[in-house]
């Protein structure tokens, strides 16, 4: 019986290397590499061209142009390739070793092809500066899923959470006041989020309400929209009321009916349209940080203003303070205006000189999205979809901070009053950190200088377990003396965070737990509900027993005992990300969020939890939160 054999045709991928010099030699050397051999019915073919010699452009599958940024000929060549629709990459760095540069690019290209990506996909990934191993890891996570956290027990007072009475807090705060001028201090404020969720119910109202067919009260009853009811009842108490009402009044078209209820509906409807509309105040598309949150006698204060006030109260050293905001690039102008306006007021009020800077969430921390069959998702232009990697991406921003002690607090966690209490407990957390670091550095220096005796190991271990909440290996006593010191050094030589925890009153979000790692060792972690297998009755029960909530009130020690900055990404647990489902153009897609900034991104840190008063936690998740006492001027 005759058999039919079908041989798939080998595809040649033609790659042209354009350089200012030895392009032909580079192409010849690349052709000798193993990646140039036939593989998976494809073969990579290389050709070298000197940029100065190019007169006519011959099409290829991929053009790589390597030359200095100010090389006009190279820039013209790149532009002409673009006009011809030729796939291209423009390289302006690494010119001292062009062969090494191109070799790395081709290895990355080969990996992309092995993953089933297209040439266009590779160029898109390369331009985002995302290493291909990250794409490979993310695609694997979608297919295999992410392992759930294994909770051992909740962290509670006396077992993972340290009590912090006002008297003890005052002692720590006073200690920090004495020491703080020895430190370079900074406040770190994640502030990139838009205020969209704050106004979700108002968006829904504008989309579903028809003023010609029903009253607002009728809409509230039909939709059972208590949020809208609360918003309208408290309307005049919002810090932005007067400004928006004045603007809205100009555009109101009152109905013919001489009925005050009808007229009030018209005023309220136009107020909401003016506040939300793109031609009005466009609040939902602005970042939370620059919206009015509080009303003082002289100003409507934004979160930016309140964070600068806080920084002057507890992050000041030698009459100066520095605040770092992570923002979205398209919100830069709004932040600059808001900060410059607030800074002059706060400096005048406090006498503290304020400096500030920004970073954006880096594009290389974006993650690839897939469809529900775990295939890379492409939009209508057939380009890959990338989504921001979540707040866990900000570990890279924090890693760039050159400071000894950094205060971390979310942009929306501010309040109108109780500044003294907030400052006291922030200083107390910093005092706890300073004391712990002092002892850690003392022990590490003694170990480094071979001054620590074997007998002193017991003292160090007691400190590590009692003060730093470390779980020591049960095999520790079997180690040699040398390995004991190495183990203790590794245990202590890590970044430290002291985290304030508040009593749980039903707020959604993460909490403190003792978590069991892969090797059975326990550590203190902040865990989100999405990281837990809630279908597991034991895990669900442990989660339900949590007594405290994470308010993101963290003080970080970013330098080691030699004064060097820790490389923070080394302490991220990559297995603690999140897979979330989003809707894109009417299609469900899955995206991967990096381990959260205060969750898996800090999993390898030394972690200490301390209880702080609930009054230090005052987030604004919806606009109606601004009606709570913490955000209203006391009567």
| Contact of 76 with 70, CB cutoff 8 Å | no
Average pLDDT, rounded, for the chain: 92
Kindly list the strands in the beta sheet with 587-593, ordered across the sheet, starting from the edge strand earlier in the chain.
386-387, 367-370, 587-593, 578-584
Q: How far apart are CA 59 and CA 62, in angstroms?
A: 9
Q: How far apart are CA 161 and CA 500, in angstroms?
A: 9
Q: Residue 1: pLDDT band by 50, 70, 90 thresholds?
A: very low
Lookup result for tokens 């969209």: 196
CB atoms within 10 A of CB 569: 13
Continuous segment of H or E residues that includes residue 595: none
Strand partners, 524: 514
pLDDT of res. 39: 87
Pull the structure tokens for residue 346.
Answer: 């706060």
Output the CA angle 98-100-106, nearest 5 degrees: 100
Q: Residue 580: pLDDT band by 50, 70, 90 thresholds?
A: confident
| Contact of 167 with 425, CB cutoff 8 Å | no
pLDDT of res. 381: 82
Phi and psi torsions of 359, nearest 5° = -135, 155
Tell me the whole-structure pTM to 2 decimals.
Answer: 0.89
Continuous segment of H or E residues that includes residue 514: strand 511-516
Q: How far apart are CA 341 and CA 335, in angstroms?
A: 10
Output the CA angle 336-339-342, nearest 5 degrees: 145
Grouping H, G, I as helix, E, B as strand and the rest as coil, residue 190 is strand
Q: Residue 587: pLDDT band by 50, 70, 90 thresholds?
A: confident
Q: How far apart are CA 278 and CA 10, in angstroms?
A: 54
Phi and psi torsions of 186, nearest 5° = -155, 150
Q: Average of pLDDT values for 229-256?
A: 90
Strand partners, 367: 387
Q: Average of pLDDT values for 353-371?
A: 92
Residue range 436-487, pLDDT digits in tens: 999 999 999 999 999 999 889 999 999 999 999 999 988 999 999 999 999 9
Query: Which residues lie below 8 Å from residue 459, measured CB to CB, with a gap of 6+?
Result: none
Q: How far apart are CA 97 and CA 201, in angstroms?
A: 57
Residue 568 has pLDDT above 80, yes or no: yes
Residue 611 has pLDDT above 70, yes or no: yes
Residue range 54-93, pLDDT digits in tens: 888 889 999 999 999 999 999 999 999 999 999 999 998 8
Q: Residue 5: pLDDT band by 50, 70, 90 thresholds?
A: very low
Lookup result for tokens 């208590």: 226
Residue 456 burial (CB < 10 Å; 0-12/13-18/19+)? middle
Top pLDDT among 256 and 140 is at 140
Q: What is the DSSP string of 404-440?
A: SEEEEE-TT---SS-HHHHHHHHHHHHHHHHHHHHHH
pLDDT of res. 517: 87
Top pLDDT among 250 and 46 is at 46
Q: How far apart are the first and last CA of the chain?
A: 97
Lookup result for tokens 């191993």: 133
pLDDT of res. 508: 65
Q: Average of pLDDT values for 537-545?
A: 94
Q: How far apart are CA 420 and CA 247, in angstroms?
A: 37
pLDDT of res. 97: 87
As a whole number of Å, the CA-based R_g of the chain is: 29
Phi-psi map region of 282: left, alpha, beta (phi>0 left; psi -120 to 50 alpha): left
Q: How far apart are CA 551 and CA 511, in angstroms?
A: 9
Lookup result for tokens 């354009």: 18
pLDDT of res. 530: 87
pLDDT of res. 8: 56
Q: Residue 594: pLDDT band by 50, 70, 90 thresholds?
A: very high
% pLDDT > 90, the chain: 79
pLDDT of res. 583: 80
Residue range 350-359, pLDDT digits in tens: 999 999 999 9
Nearest CA among 602, 183, 264, 265 for reference residue 434: 183
pLDDT of res. 194: 78
Residue range 304-325, pLDDT digits in tens: 999 999 999 999 998 999 999 9
pLDDT of res. 412: 94
Strand partners, 353: 320
| Contact of 394 with 361, CB cutoff 8 Å | yes
Q: Average of pLDDT values for 515-533?
A: 91
Q: Residue 388: pLDDT band by 50, 70, 90 thresholds?
A: confident
Residue 4 has pLDDT above 50, yes or no: no
Strand partners, 406: 186, 556
Output the CA angle 507-555-431, nearest 5 degrees: 120
Top pLDDT among 390 and 245 is at 245
Residue 259 has pLDDT above 80, yes or no: no
Q: Residue 119: pLDDT band by 50, 70, 90 thresholds?
A: very high
pLDDT of res. 298: 78
Query: CA separation (Å) from 359 to 82, 161, 397?
Result: 31, 33, 7
Lookup result for tokens 């949150």: 293
């Amino acid at each position: 019986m005759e058999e039919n054999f079908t041989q798939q045709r080998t595809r040649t991928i033609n790659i042209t290397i354009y350089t200012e010099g030895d392009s032909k030699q580079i192409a010849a050397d690349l052709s000798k590499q193993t990646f140039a051999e036939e593989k998976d019915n494809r073969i990579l073919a290389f050709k070298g061209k000197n940029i100065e010699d190019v007169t006519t452009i011959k099409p290829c599958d991929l053009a790589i142009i390597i030359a200095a940024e100010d090389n006009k000929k190279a820039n013209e060549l790149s532009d002409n390739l673009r006009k011809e629709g030729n796939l291209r990459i423009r390289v302006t760095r690494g010119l001292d070793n062009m062969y090494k540069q191109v070799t790395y690019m081709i290895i990355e290209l080969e990996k992309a092809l092995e993953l089933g990506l297209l040439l266009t996909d590779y160029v898109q990934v390369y331009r985002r500066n995302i290493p291909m191993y990250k794409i490979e890891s993310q695609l694997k996570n979608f297919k295999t899923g992410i392992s759930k956290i294994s909770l051992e027990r909740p962290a509670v007072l006396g077992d993972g959470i340290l009590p912090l009475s006002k008297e003890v807090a005052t002692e720590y705060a006073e200690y920090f006041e004495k020491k703080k001028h020895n430190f370079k201090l900074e406040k770190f404020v994640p502030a990139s989020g838009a205020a969209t969720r704050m106004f979700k119910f108002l968006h829904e109202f504008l989309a579903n309400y028809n003023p010609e067919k029903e009253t607002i009260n009728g809409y509230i009853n039909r939709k059972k929209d208590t949020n809208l009811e609360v918003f309208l009842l408290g309307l005049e108490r919002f810090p932005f009321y007067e400004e928006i009402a004045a603007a809205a009044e100009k555009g109101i078209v009152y109905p013919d009916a001489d009925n005050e209820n009808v007229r009030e509906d018209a005023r309220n409807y136009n107020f909401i349209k003016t506040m939300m509309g793109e031609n009005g105040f466009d609040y939902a598309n602005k970042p939370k940080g620059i919206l009015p949150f509080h009303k003082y006698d002289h100003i409507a204060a934004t979160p930016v203003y309140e964070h600068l006030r806080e920084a002057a109260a507890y992050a000041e050293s030698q009459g100066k303070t520095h605040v770092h905001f992570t923002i979205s690039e398209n919100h830069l102008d709004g932040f600059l205006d808001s900060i410059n306006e607030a800074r002059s007021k706060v400096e005048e009020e406090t006498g503290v000189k304020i400096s500030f800077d920004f970073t954006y969430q880096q594009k290389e921390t974006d993650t690839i999205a897939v469809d529900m069959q775990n295939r890379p998702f492409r939009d209508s232009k057939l380009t890959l979809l990338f989504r921001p990697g979540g707040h866990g991406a900000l570990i890279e921003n924090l890693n760039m901070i050159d400071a000894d002690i950094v205060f971390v607090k979310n942009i929306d966690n501010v309040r109108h009053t109780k500044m003294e209490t907030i400052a006291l407990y922030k200083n107390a957390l910093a005092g706890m950190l300073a004391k712990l670091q002092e002892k850690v550095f003392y022990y590490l220096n003694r170990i480094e200088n071979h001054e620590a005796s074997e007998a002193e190991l017991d003292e160090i271990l007691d400190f590590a377990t009692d003060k730093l909440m470390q779980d020591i290996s049960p095999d520790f006593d079997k180690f040699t003396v040398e390995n004991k010191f190495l183990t203790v050094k590794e245990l202590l030589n890590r970044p430290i965070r002291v985290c304030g925890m508040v009593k749980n009153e039903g707020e959604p979000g993460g909490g403190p737990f003792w978590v069991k790692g892969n090797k059975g060792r326990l550590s203190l972690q902040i865990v989100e509900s999405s990281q837990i297998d809630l279908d597991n009755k034991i895990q669900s029960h442990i989660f339900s027993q949590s007594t405290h909530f994470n308010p993101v009130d963290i003080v970080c020690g970013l330098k080691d005992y030699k004064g060097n900055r820790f490389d923070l990404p080394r302490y991220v647990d990559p297995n603690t990300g999140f897979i979330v489902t989003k809707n894109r153009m009417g299609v469900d897609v899955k995206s991967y969020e990096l381990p959260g900034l205060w969750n898996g991104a800090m999993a390898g840190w030394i972690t200490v939890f301390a209880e702080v008063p609930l009054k230090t936690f005052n987030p604004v998740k919806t606009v109606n939160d601004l009606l709570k006492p913490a955000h209203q001027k006391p009567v």
